[in-house]
Amino acid sequence: MCGRIYIKSTLGDLLRNFSFAATERVEGLANQFPRYNGAPSLFYPLVIRDVIRDPDVFGPTFVSARWGLIPAWIREQKPGRPPPVNARCEGISANGMFKKAYASRRCLIPIDGFFEWRDIFGTGKNKQPYAIAMKSGEPFALAGIWEKWRNPETGEDIRTFCVITCSPNEMMATIHDRMPVILNRDDYERWLSPESDPFDLMKPFPAELMTMWPIDRKVGSPRNDTADILDPLEPAE
């Protein structure tokens, strides 16, 4: 799964790295980045193309969205049941929760890296966190889907999203059995296109282009949101 990400870039730097997308819709997020320990339920910048539901969007555009997908047909959120933050690529085109968004509302989720936990002894009680990024140090994009949900209490339209996951590459398989779908830049246009099922894009990203390192367990609390979250853990003596 993918339940925590980091964006060490400023919002302006992130937008410049994805300069093919218009940026006028995310100005309200400027004071929220860098974010070194990004959790679900917070708002993030996405790149979408939504000419059907949003005729003002003629090309790729940055928008703000909350992590945790709520389909438009959901009438109300049930207490104690948080919205899904991940969607498995296997069967996504037939899953009632995700299929409509996958067919017509796919998005790019620009980040600098993400976190995953290795279950050291297989007990679920002693997990070592890792930071994962590109070897180049450049920002990259996860594959996602999004929805627009109307809060019945306030009448507010809220855009939400989740991250698509796939089987792990050789590097990720050493710590976990899933990884987020990472898209090649050459595939951004196709992922955002009207094509209904670009299934072949949802595959493990080449391990040789990625890197990971163990970090301190303080990343487990989203309240710890400082740059030293990413410091490599000193090897045990």
Catalytic residues: 2, 116
* Beta-bridge mates of residue 180: 165
Backbone phi and psi for residue 46, each to the nearest 5 degrees, phi listed first: -120, 160
Q: Where are the alpha helices (DSSP H) in the chain?
A: 11-17, 99-104, 188-191
CA pair distance 117, 24, nearest whole angstrom: 36
**In residues, how long is the chain?**
237
Q: Which residues pair with 7 in a beta bridge?
A: 35
Omega cis (within 30) before 34: yes
Amino acid at the residue 86? N
Other CB atoms within 10 Å distance of the CB of residue 112:
25
**10 Å Cβ neighbour count for 118?**
14
Residue 57 and residue 48 in contact, taking contact as beta carbons nearer than 8 Å: yes
116 φ, ψ (degrees, to nearest 5): -145, 155
